[in-house]
Structure 1
Amino acid sequence: MRYRLLSALIASAVVAVDAAPAASYDYIVVGSGPGGGPLACDLARAGYSTLLIEAGGDEGDNPTYAELATFNEAANDEATRWDFWVKHSDDPARELQFQHMTWDTGDGTFYIGLDPPPGAKQLGIQYPRAAVLGGCAMHNGAVCTLPQDDDWNVIVNATGDTSWEADKMRRYLKKIEKNDYLPAGNADHGYNGWLSTSRGDVSWAKNNSLAGTRILRKMAELTGQNPEDVGVLMDTDILGAYKNKDEISSFYNMVQHADRQGKRSSPNNYVRATLADPKKYPLTLQLHTLVTKVLFSNESTPRAIGVEVMQGASLYKADPKHIPGTKAPLTQILANKEVIVSGGAFNSPQILKLSGIGPAAELQKFNIPVVKDLPGVGEQLSDNYEGSILALGQIPADSGLITLQFRTPSAPTKKRNIFTWCGAFSFEGFWPGFPADYGPNQYTCAMVHISPKSQAGSVRLVSADPQDVPDINFRFFEHRGDEDLKEIVEGANLLREAWQAAGEPVLPFNELHPCHGTNPLADGKCSDAVQAQSFKTQAYSHHAASTCAIGGDNDKMAVLDSKFRVRGVKGLRVVDASSFPVVPGAFPVLPTMMISAKAAEDIIADATKKSG
């Protein structure tokens, strides 16, 4: 397959608010995504002068981003897209089995597939990120879920900080949420926050004549739910506080960070509201600014005192609009109190390393002076494994969206391990121009494997040039991979069995992957081993985490303490998905916004203590 390489000359459709910065600010926040954007607003609303730096522009008024229904177009849009070309393993032969491997043909097009034209340059597996005010919350599917309780409690166990206990973390959901789907007063939710949450109409599930409802009822039977109750079960609150919630296999009504009209709600809205508030909070936003490193004082324990930046659009080489050779002058901006890095799981470790914080041998390789030897920076990269089963019915399968979390037989604990959403769509991962459209008869169950057992990935420098993109290798299934693959295959088998309830004239489904044909189990071509190999080579992901992880004092790989402070230096924190020691549940965007609120409290408490 070929897709057009978007022109490097197209200008981003933004209205920048690039104000000349003051000499210094109390706080500098690097990155406006789910971690940094809300944090900067909270600090400014507490009265502290705060500079929020974003490498991209502002697309808040662009319908492609504002309308949640066009999220696929947003993720493909070069106005904000940064293309990270990643690896899934250290095995080049295995990499070349990935069906959506992407190549630069040299003639202005991408080739996606396994048989590139002569002379094509292998780029890798596309992992798009968003350089825009609001970060990846501006191009994602806006799915809101909570981590498993153990994902919070792992921090308690490692650090002894009981403020991270799962039952205490819910208050940050309530603090940021503006719930639009339940009557006011529900004790599990918030109604006065900045983040709108809504959910869709699932009344279709009460229509037993639909193929989708027949599939739904079979899924209920296979996961221990009452098929007669599916109409009610489908409206279960996915953010509810249930006893032993992580052990419940259940349908849910998918919640999204959007309002009732389908308008995306994100840090973009909160930043804009803070800037426009008549109280004139001391927030300054600086767009189209690439942070090249953090500046430190020359003390026995170095203190972060500011950042060095380049100003200009498309300076980072992951930007498809970047023009080779483009540079910009370096300038410095000072912080009176702290610098907070919120660049995400790829860029936060890169910024720390460029600043002299990271594995000493790696920094010395590129002649970067070592400020603090922290071997965990850029290591322990983790992500959920994702895969899908996709088939074509004989006619369209009338169905709304089915959202289900369930436990497979080989899960290592009583906790559920698969999050799936099913319906008449296709989703097979990410590549330029995704997703493929197989027509009205397509039907997919996309799966997220929760709690992956391997954290062997890395984000490593290729040079000391801040415009270069780091080398990113997830090393999928490196540790205990056979266990994870078995769980994924069990999930696929359950979902495939449920599909057979669709009945004629939808049946037989012609499966496209991971197996092939109208009866793949019966003809012996869809063994568990065949499926496991397919998922191993075709798994994809978009929930990167843990490259600047919180950990205990005795953990040599710990980068942060429980208050997000970078170990061994002062005045520097990291607040984003890279902070999590493990991937937080099935989708990390809501948990990242929650820890942003927690970090704001921690930072303000420290500032108050020091001034008191």
Structure 2
Amino acid sequence: MHSRSFTLLGLLLILWQCPSTGAKFIESLDPSEKYDYVIVGSGAGGAPLAARLASYGHRVLLVEAGDDQTDTYQYRVPALNLQASEFVPMTWSFYVTHYNDAKRQRQDSKMTWLTPSGQHFVGRNPPRGSTPYGILYPRAGTFGGCTAHNSMITVLPDQSDWQAIVDMTGDDSWAPAKMKKYFTRLERNRYIPSSYHGHGYEGWLTTSVTSLKFVIQDFKFTHMVLGAAASVGQGIGKIITTVHGLAEVFLRDLNSGLPDRDRRDGLFQMPLAIRDGARSGPREFVMEVMGARQENGEPKHHLDILLNTFVTRILFDKDDQGEKSPRATGVEYASGQSIYRADPRASKDRDMPLRPDGIITAQREVIISAGAFNTPQLLKLSGIGPREELEKFGIPVVVDSPGVGTNMQDRYEATLVAKNPHRFKLTSRCTWMKSYPDPCLENWKTSTPISKRGGYTTSGLVLAMLKRSSVSVDATPDLFISGAPAAFTGYYPGYSYDAFKDPTYWTWIVLKAHTRNRAGTVLLRTSDPRDTPIISFNSFDTGTNENREADLDAEALVEGMMWARKAIRNVPKFPSPFWEVWPAHRARTAEEMKDWVKKEAWGHHASCTCPIGADDDPMAVLDSSFRVRGVDGLRVVDASIFPKIPGYFIVLPIYMVSEKAADVIHLSTYPVSN
């Protein structure tokens, strides 16, 4: 297949003590500026946190290693999310392993190598002398982080995900009902009437669903929905050639506020972070806060953003007497583009030393929001991590914290791809910006209303199915299955082009949620901050498997794949049938499929590498208030904070955590008794 909440008095006190002088993108630091909080990383954790803290009256500096690409079509156009992940100005390409055994790892058809000629080769049999890279794991080094290229899927986690943190830490502020309030605060829902309970309608993140008119316009797409509905006994006998009929096939709201929400299965329309046909994200919240003005026209808040600034180390004020914990005072940084070697444009010259350009000081706290890979890397480079690993690289130990860079978790995902000779009408004229003019892009730019702007107004993921496998826990659906008109088989260099070069393909994407594996690691490769870490997921039986966890996860994934196969077979054969092309003959039986998913499964929700935990847990890097244990003035707010990977798609849980962190931090400075 391959070729590749706070008091008014408290707020007034802040505004009096810290008069606002502006909010802006800055190119360099003003030595006279004093920031309360320095936040490293502008992704799903850092950007909302920065905006919310600034809106509370704090002086905030948000530091980002990349630049701002949010005016590009790759960012703005929902359908170009795959292209955005390989858009060189914003991409950070990590290469990871699922297995440490090289022989086993190379059985993955997505295995990537660097050939002697300096080219990427994808496959099992590279040219002689090629260097193994691993499996591509696209991340984003740009303003907005991975919210700049994600598929915009916006799905609430289960209540049990939050309750588990309460049970672990004894901190009731994580209770599900309290966490749900952060969702309603951040959401600006545009697909449910405002009288419906459980949603927000005035927040910063616009959520919508793809108009069913798009599906009706495409006969082939409609047939795919019918095949899926037939496979779950949903919609049989319904008339689906009208919008009303099609709506009856779907359950209404995947993010419902109903008590049984976490137990429902079946077909749903996909909630997406899309506003008027364009990507919605924390960027909009940041810009709203920066653009807010007082009655006299002066900026209302103080939020500065420093781009192209690569943080190399966290700085600490240490008590020589050892009577107080070290306190984070700021960060050391280097200025410039493409410094980090996950950036395809970065220099690989190892003879060129990295010279820091300066220091940024935080008056109150430093907050790291660099993501599941870079946050543990930065902590370790700063002396917080497993003692043995730090000493190996000559890094002075600030805190011996053995849990940093462990406990890494992800989903397991696999796809089933099918085709028939007829093109999908929605995408048949799209060039995906590989050639110009691109009729679909022109339609997106010029047409009104939105229902006439074409397929580029959606991510392509119109429908979702929740399904319980036979090995699910507590009757909670553990399979999230979505479909798209594409040929997507995972991540490798060039995948975003291959997925759409032929508009006759359909892909069912099977995601195993609530995975049991906690064995992934992020280890330092060198002490050079520019080098990417060694990222090993230790999948399936090479990871957590004391009680058949690996087999249970694999079995669930197989059931999802078999459902997808059934859905393809249930597609009406008029005008012509679909045939499966991936995995097809490579996995005919359930047993063969189990072996195949162990070779081919991947994920893209890496998390849990600096987990919150109980006070008596030596592996707990953070307390329940996001504070790094063993030091003062340092917190982490991003995907790495979870003790166990939440829900189905991780971006919304991170947004909710970011909003919570803002309140925790604000109230720790101005107690609620004020």
Alignment match, 1:158 = 168
Aligned mates of 1:206, 1:69 — CA distance in 2: 18
Alignment match, 1:522 = none
Displacement of 1:224? 5.5
Pairing of 1:38-437 with structure 2 (within 5 A): 38-203=48-213, 210=219, 212-213=221-222, 215-217=224-226, 219-220=228-229, 222-223=231-232, 225-228=234-237, 231-234=247-250, 236-260=252-276, 262-279=277-294, 280=299, 281-299=301-319, 300-325=324-349, 327-396=354-423, 401-435=462-496, 436=498, 437=500
Letter in 2 for 1:442: Y
Name the SS of the counterpart of 1:306 in structure 2.
strand
Name the SS of the counterpart of 1:562 in structure 2.
coil
Name the SS of the counterpart of 1:545 in structure 2.
coil
Aligned mates of 2:251, 2:291 — CA distance in 1: 37
Distance change (3 Å), C-alpha of 1:106 and 1:289:
farther
Aligned mates of 2:129, 2:345 — CA distance in 1: 23
Name the SS of the counterpart of 2:178 in structure 1.
helix
Displacement of 1:204? 6.6
Aligned mates of 2:289, 2:424 — CA distance in 1: 45
Aligned mates of 1:284, 1:398 — CA distance in 2: 45
What is the aligned counterpart of 2:664 among 590, 594, 602?
602
Work out the percentage of aligned pairs sharing the same amino acid.
38
Displacement of 1:396? 4.8
Letter in 2 for 1:534: W
Displacement of 1:139? 0.7
Displacement of 1:397? 7.1
Moved more, 411-420 or 317-326: 317-326
Aligned mates of 2:54, 2:401 — CA distance in 1: 31
Displacement of 1:194? 1.3
Aligned mates of 2:465, 2:3 — CA distance in 1: 35
Can you give the 5+ residue segments of structure 1 that lack an aligned partner in the other structure?
A: 4-14, 518-524
State the Cα deviation string for residues 350-382 of structure 1 (Å, max 9, x = none). Answer: 111111111111111111111111111100000
Q: Tell me if the contact between 1:34 and 1:593 (Cα under 8 Å) persists in the aligned partners.
A: yes
Pair 1:570 & 2:603 matched: no
Displacement of 1:328? 4.0
Displacement of 1:152? 1.2
State the Cα deviation string for residues 312-341 of structure 1 (Å, max 9, x = none). Answer: 111111111112345343411111111110
Displacement of 1:590? 1.1
Pair 1:469 & 2:532 matched: yes
Name the SS of the counterpart of 1:349 in structure 2.
helix
Q: Tell me if the contact between 1:180 and 1:196 (Cα under 8 Å) persists in the aligned partners.
A: yes
Displacement of 1:166? 1.6
Letter in 2 for 1:354: L
Aligned mates of 1:405, 1:205 — CA distance in 2: 20
State the Cα deviation string for residues 237-289 of structure 1 (Å, max 9, x = none). Answer: 121112222221121111111202x2111222222232232242111111111
Give the number of aligned pairs.
592
Aligned mates of 2:281, 2:116 — CA distance in 1: 37
Moved more, 600-609 or 413-422: 413-422
Aligned mates of 2:235, 2:570 — CA distance in 1: 15
Aligned mates of 2:415, 2:3 — CA distance in 1: 23
Q: Tell me if the contact between 2:165 and 2:174 (Cα under 8 Å) persists in the aligned partners.
A: yes
Aligned mates of 2:275, 2:425 — CA distance in 1: 26
Pair 1:494 & 2:494 matched: no
What is the aligned counterpart of 2:28 among 16, 19, 26?
19
Q: Tell me if the contact between 1:395 and 1:505 (Cα under 8 Å) persists in the aligned partners.
A: no
Distance change (3 Å), C-alpha of 1:318 and 1:529:
same
Aligned mates of 2:387, 2:647 — CA distance in 1: 32
Displacement of 1:100? 1.4
Distance change (3 Å), C-alpha of 1:311 and 1:2:
farther
Aligned mates of 2:247, 2:174 — CA distance in 1: 36
Aligned mates of 1:500, 1:538 — CA distance in 2: 23
Displacement of 1:221? 5.0
Name the SS of the counterpart of 1:381 in structure 2.
coil
Pair 1:515 & 2:531 matched: no
Aligned mates of 1:263, 1:217 — CA distance in 2: 28
State the Cα deviation string for residues 440-476 of structure 1 (Å, max 9, x = none). Answer: 3312110111101111000011121111110000111
Displacement of 1:226? 5.0
Q: Tell me if the contact between 1:18 and 1:287 (Cα under 8 Å) persists in the aligned partners.
A: yes
Displacement of 1:439? 2.3
Name the SS of the counterpart of 2:146 in structure 1.
helix
Letter in 2 for 1:426: A
Name the SS of the counterpart of 1:445 in structure 2.
strand
Name the SS of the counterpart of 2:39 in structure 1.
strand
Q: Tell me if the contact between 2:25 and 2:305 (Cα under 8 Å) persists in the aligned partners.
A: no
Q: Tell me if the contact between 1:360 and 1:370 (Cα under 8 Å) persists in the aligned partners.
A: yes
Q: Tell me if the contact between 2:40 and 2:311 (Cα under 8 Å) persists in the aligned partners.
A: yes
Alignment match, 1:6 = none
Distance change (3 Å), C-alpha of 1:503 and 1:218:
closer
Aligned mates of 1:576, 1:291 — CA distance in 2: 16
Letter in 2 for 1:290: F
Distance change (3 Å), C-alpha of 1:359 and 1:183:
same
Distance change (3 Å), C-alpha of 1:423 and 1:466:
closer
Aligned mates of 1:92, 1:572 — CA distance in 2: 38
Can you give the 5+ residue segments of structure 2 that lack an aligned partner in the other structure?
A: 5-23, 239-245, 427-459
Name the SS of the counterpart of 1:447 in structure 2.
strand
Aligned mates of 2:487, 2:533 — CA distance in 1: 31
Pair 1:528 & 2:590 matched: yes
Q: Tell me if the contact between 1:178 and 1:197 (Cα under 8 Å) persists in the aligned partners.
A: yes
Displacement of 1:141? 0.7
Name the SS of the counterpart of 2:275 in structure 1.
coil
What is the aligned counterpart of 1:579 among 641, 645, 648?
641
State the Cα deviation string for residues 524-561 of structure 1 (Å, max 9, x = none). Answer: x6111110111111111110000011111122211111
Displacement of 1:515? 2.7
Aligned mates of 1:611, 1:336 — CA distance in 2: 23
Moved more, 461-470 or 108-117: 108-117
Name the SS of the counterpart of 2:660 in structure 1.
helix
What is the aligned counterpart of 1:543 among 580, 591, 605?
605
What is the aligned counterpart of 1:449 among 494, 505, 512?
512
Letter in 2 for 1:63: Y
Q: Tell me if the contact between 2:227 and 2:571 (Cα under 8 Å) persists in the aligned partners.
A: no
Letter in 1 for 2:268: Y
